[in-house]
Amino acid sequence: MSAVIDTHDHSHDEHHGPAKGFTRWLLTTNHKDIGSMYLIFSFAMFLLGGSMAMVIRAELFQPGLQIVEPAFFNQMTTMHGLIMVFGAVMPAFVGLANWMIPMMVGAPDMALPRMNNWSFWLLPAAFLILVSTLFMEGGGPNFGWTFYAPLSTTYGPPSTTFFIFAIHIMGISSIMGAINVIATIMNLRAPGMTLMKMPLFVWTWLITAFLLIAVMPVLAGVVTMMLMDINFGTSFFDAAGGGDPVLFQHVFWFFGHPEVYIMILPAFGAVSEIIPAFSRKPLFGYASMVYAVAAIALLSFVVWAHHMFTVGLPIAGQLFFMYCTMLIAVPTGVKVFNWVATMFRGALSFEAPMLFAVAFIILFTIGGFSGLMLAIAPADFQYHDTYFVVAHFHYVLVPGAIFGIFASAYFWLPKWTGTMYDETLAKTHFWMSFIGMNLAFFPMHFLGLAGMPRRIPDYALQFADFNMISSVGAFMFGATQLLFLYIVVKCIRGGGEKAPAKPWDGAEGLEWTLPSPAPYHTFATPPEVK
């Protein structure tokens, strides 16, 4: 028995005859169509956000101002962050959820198909508004992706109100997507599929959906307070009117820290499906993996002020947030141990999904260690707002979220298209991405420790060599993603071998995912025979 059960009768998806062309996509309620649209949209945003990163790295290739104005540089850093977080990573995981969750739990479709359609189509509208701010008077948001007040409220460009509107629409989309995931998992599981028999990808998404519902209204609250400060004369964040700029940071990071786990938990789930399949053995410690994800999610709510060690927190506050942050390393360590234990003495093979999954484990762990360094309050006074922080979160998000998405795409492409992708090209894509990513972000640790601040268009001469290496790596990583586009398009158009029923050969009962925990007959004589 595979954990993927597709019981959906697709012959009646359109009740009024088959819709043609664009209308089919505009009106579809089919979870596979919507999943595909999310994935296509997220890749388009990935290329757009990536091209903005290319502008940043081109400017920093050498000291001195050469390519863009400092004001435009600030707009690029801001938009790159916002587009990658809200436009590339989150919609990609929602796309994977749409495709895989109904099949993994044996549901005919998502529980709320029309809301599913609406939650997708809000996104292109939101990002059209966000990107249009770049063409408005005064330019787009230029205050960093964290849009700290009063920089964004008192000193922001006139387009800030449009930016706030775009954030609201994205948040509504995310909340509806999360409600849909929860409703599907709780109500549409096939008979016999108890919660503790669900594939881990489903578990991680269930927990992620609760995180989304908990924190998206907080983001809505903080941007609404900004809106009032800008347009209605309130002073939530303006000290001159009795407000407090640090209040903004508290509210923002109460959303922002769980948000980073929203971007990584589904990748944990995907990797927990991929590692067992290419190790040809069941996942080690299924239950502990579920509890670890839940523990990470709960702890993510009590660590927000570790982003704020330099604002003048009382010493008791610094200690609390320091210890809570270090505590997150425990469940994360459990997960890493279980992945390694799954591979231990397994019949390993290293196709593209496995390569991305193994790189995910190694590089994400490096990002975790630099996170532990940043968690130590007195040390953070030195690292805060330097390139060391940039290195840290890119080591979590690029090998974490992005590599997790690549691994999932290669793993499930044969399922989605009926065609095998080009393995040689996929491995080329992996190694180019792996090398480019490390060249781009590893030198940033050294730059940060040497004192180079974040978010600057120019820098002192002693930082030149590492910045040059960083830029070369970034361009290598960016260019390689066009190869990924080629591989996927070629696969979708059937330009490869027909996918066998079990594409990952030898993975008995592991066609697409693992029934987790594995049924008893995988191991021994059935109990009634004894």
pLDDT digits (tens, 9 = 90+) for 213-227: 999 999 999 999 999
State residue 11's pLDDT score.
47
State residue 17's pLDDT score.
56
Q: Per-residue confidence at 21, pLDDT binned at 50, 70, 90?
A: confident
Residue 341 maps to a domain? no
| 8 A C-beta contact, residue 104 and residue 3 | yes
H helix intervals, 376-463: 377-383, 387-396, 403-417, 423-449
State residue 20's pLDDT score.
78
State residue 5's pLDDT score.
56
- CATH number of the structural domain spanning residue 56: 1.20.210.10
Output the six-digit token pair for 517.
């925990």
Residue 506 maps to a domain? no
Q: How far apart are CA 293 and CA 268, in angstroms?
A: 8
State residue 18's pLDDT score.
63
CA 393, 395, 400, 406 dihedral sign is positive
Q: Per-residue confidence at 495, pLDDT binned at 50, 70, 90?
A: confident
Cα–Cα nearest to 3, from 517, 515, 526: 515
pLDDT at 3 over 80: no
What average pLDDT does this structure show over 117-145? 97
The gap from C-alpha 247 to its chain's centroid, in whole angstroms, comes to 27
pLDDT at 520 over 70: no
Residue 121 maps to a domain? yes
- Give residue 100's domain range: 31-248
Contacts of 226-231 spanning 24+ positions with Cβ under 8 A: 226/147, 226/149, 226/152, 226/153, 226/160, 226/164, 227/161, 227/164, 229/149, 229/153, 229/154, 230/153, 230/156, 230/160, 230/161, 230/164, 231/161
What average pLDDT does this structure show over 222-244? 97
The gap from C-alpha 54 to its chain's centroid, in whole angstroms, comes to 20
pLDDT at 247 over 60: yes
Residue 316 maps to a domain? no
Which one-letter amino acid corresponds to residue 136? Answer: M
State residue 406's pLDDT score.
98
pLDDT digits (tens, 9 = 90+) for 355-412: 999 999 999 999 999 999 999 999 999 999 999 999 999 999 999 999 999 999 999 9
Residue 37 maps to a domain? yes
pTM: 0.92
Cα–Cα–Cα angle for 383, 384, 386, rounded to 5 degrees: 70
Q: How far apart are CA 382 and CA 363, in angstroms?
A: 23
H helix intervals, 188-312: 200-231, 245-262, 265-279, 286-299
- Number of structural domains the chain divides into: 1
Residue 497 maps to a domain? no
State residue 496's pLDDT score.
85
Cα–Cα nearest to 276, from 352, 346, 196: 346
CA 95, 97, 100, 101 dihedral sign is negative
Q: Per-residue confidence at 529, pLDDT binned at 50, 70, 90?
A: very low
Q: Is 393 exposed, middle or buried (0-12, 13-18, 19+ CB in 10 A)?
A: middle
Which one-letter amino acid corresponds to residue 34? Answer: I
- In this structure, the number of other CB atoms found within 10 A of the CB of residue 54 comes to 17
What average pLDDT does this structure show over 1-26? 63
Residue 88 maps to a domain? yes
334: number of CA atoms within 13 Å, CB side? Answer: 16
Residue 288 maps to a domain? no
Q: What is the mean pLDDT of the chain?
A: 92
Among 50-59, 67-76, 203-212, 493-502, name the one with the lowest average pLDDT: 493-502
- In this structure, the number of other CB atoms found within 10 A of the CB of residue 481 comes to 19
pLDDT digits (tens, 9 = 90+) for 283-321: 999 999 999 999 999 999 999 999 999 999 999 999 999
Q: How far apart are CA 73 and CA 283, in angstroms?
A: 45
Would you name the residues annotated as active-site residues? 80, 109, 145, 173-174, 257, 259, 261, 272, 306-307, 332, 335, 454
What average pLDDT does this structure show over 176-191? 97
| 8 A C-beta contact, residue 100 and residue 39 | no
